Chains A and B, each alone.
Chain A
Amino acid sequence: MITQKIIKLAYIVLKTLNLKPIIVISLVLAFSLSCSLKNDNIANDIKWARYFDEIGVPNINLKNHVILVLNSVECAPAIEELLWWDKKSENVNVKMVIISKYQNEFQSVLQTNKLTIESYRDSIGEIYNHDLISTTPAKVFINSEGKIHSIRPIGEELNTQALKEFLQKPD
């Protein structure tokens, strides 16, 4: 409502000052600006969905998800945290991406650690080309609107706290 009133007021001022060309230019500028903002603000889950598409997982819905990203060899605390997420995955939407050149290597990570989380393989580190994370192991919280809530390292903090924050303040 307030925005509409401001726009109306601005229109009246500009009209009385006979500044039609400026109105046109302002509108064009505002439109182009909103477009560019829209592009920058492209829903993060769409960026991630594009990435998943590239690694061979089309049409994925990532809203309200936790995505775990790791290499096939990670430190012991990170593996411990994965086991924690494995248990949580019954009640929370968790997906895992393992950057692993070979299928055997990928299978071996799941088998050795007895992980049952829905997992996908990124064979060439495509995630870095999409600029989605800066390093591994990382966990990404995507809220119900598809926006990134937070990106945190795996194995360096209390997970319960991170998950609580995510669930309490999904925005």
Chain B
Amino acid sequence: MVSLLKKLLPFNFNKGSSFIFILIIFIGCGSEQKQPQENIENFELIHLNSFSITPPDSVIFGRFSGRAVVNNSGDRIAFYDQVKQNMIVSDTLGNVIYIIGSKGRGPDEFENIFSYNFDEHDNLIVYDTNLQLFKIFDKNGEYLKSFSAEGERREHYIVDSILYPSEGYIYMGAIDINLVPFRDDTKPFWESYLLVKYDYEGNLLGHLAQYDNDLSKRRYYSYTPVFYLDGTKNRLFSTHMHYYGIQEFDLEQDSLISKFGAISDNYNIVNESNVDYIKLMNKEKRREFSTKQTYSMSLHASDEYIFVELQNLQLSWYNAFEKTFKDYYLTVYDRETKQFLSEISLPYMLTTMHNNTVFLIENDNPENYQIGIYSVENIKS
């Protein structure tokens, strides 16, 4: 190679200059694609328990959404049945505490459930995107009230499936309606606020945080934000479906505190300079392309760690939307230092987390819907 360069280059080529030249080539290649971060610490999943949700007599479950939520004390879980448009709340042994909702427009009925979560009093708050209504149910499943979401589809669109109630307010992921890049990808969506804040009457109290402006450098992305809100510490952690970067906001000050994130071993990031966007109009090409990038699906935090759930698709997933045709990972960061610690492979799809406990869908058959509870533990070597 050196002799070839000697012939091609119009200057005297010695050992020193060849070293610098080769170094430049390597730096050039390296800047295109960040190197994956190696695990710094060893984490393992320790299986604690598994339970099946047993439907009460004469009830058949339809199809559970992959997203469940756990209450603050970690002793009840809410599942969403997408076929029947109802919510099933069970304890962590699988005993059904109550089932609310059915298809319709009545007080305790739903047309299209979009977001849900427990508040500090174990009330279940459900947002119906077709009706544009919040509906609140007490800890026994009794209907309390419903109210509309001010500004929805006039000022903003609600974009994330998890809502976060905290101290009398409801926080939801949103995007400014004027910045939605739908049919116009020149719109700078990253300048949009990330959250909308409601009270329990549906009054819009404000907009908070911001999309990650690192996304302005990327052509292909999903602007879907993924976030976790820690109401007790007034902290918001956010990432985006096609990005590994994480932002931390102080909600009280509405300010960005830190930005961090790492490309872990199994994180696939698209090298945008090699993408032929015209070809992506073809469905097969688009599907193939989607298998080459990682999806950040959810974000969680405990007092010690921040977790990001990642999913990699296999092409066969598109045939039957079968969960086994995806690979699941959980990345772990130190909450204080923000340092990347580890990537853990998950044996099943993650449905929710509570502190350092992971809830995995071990069997998605509605007849015997089984959840495994695992603890994420740091194995000191």
Interface residues of A (CB under 8 A from B): 71-73, 76, 99-102, 104-105, 107-109, 111-113, 123-125, 128-129, 134-135
Contacts and interface: CB of A to CB of B under 8 A. Distances in A.
A139 to B, nearest CB: 19
A99 B83 contact: no
Given A104-B62, A109-B83, A128-B319, 7 more contacts: A71-B321, A72-B82, A76-B111, A104-B60, A104-B365, A105-B62, A112-B84
28 contacts: A72-B82, A73-B63, A73-B83, A99-B320, A101-B365, A102-B365, A102-B366, A102-B367, A104-B61, A104-B62, A104-B365, A107-B60, A108-B60, A108-B63, A108-B366, A109-B83, A112-B62, A112-B83, A112-B84, A112-B85, A112-B102, A123-B320, A124-B319, A124-B320, A125-B319, A125-B320, A125-B321, A129-B319
A101 B322 contact: yes
Given A108-B84, A129-B319, A134 B283 contact: yes
Interface size band for B: 20 to 34
A108 to B, nearest CB: 4
Contacts of A101: 320, 322, 364-365
Say what secondary structure dominates the interface of chain B.
loop
B19 interface: no
Nearest to B283: A134
A134 B60 CA distance: 31
A72 B111 CA distance: 16
A126 to B, nearest CB: 8
Nearest to B323: A101
A112 B109 CA distance: 13
Contacts of B102: 112
Contacts of A125: 319-322
B258 interface: no
B26 to A, nearest CB: 44
B132 interface: no
Nearest to A111: B60
B61 A108 contact: yes
A113 B130 CA distance: 17
B83 to A, nearest CB: 5
Interface of B: 60-63, 82-85, 102-103, 111-112, 130, 283, 318-322, 364-367
B319 A72 contact: no
B106 to A, nearest CB: 15
A76 B85 CA distance: 11
A104 B82 CA distance: 13
B294 to A, nearest CB: 23
Contacts of A104: 60-62, 365-367
Contacts of B320: 99, 101, 123-125, 128
A128 B318 CA distance: 9
Contacts of B85: 112
B365 A73 contact: no
Nearest to A128: B319
Contacts of A111: 60
Most buried by A among B63, B102, B111: B63
A112 B103 contact: yes
A44 to B, nearest CB: 21
B132 to A, nearest CB: 13
B298 to A, nearest CB: 19
Contacts of B366: 102, 104-105, 108
Nearest to B317: A125
Nearest to A79: B103
A73 B84 CA distance: 10
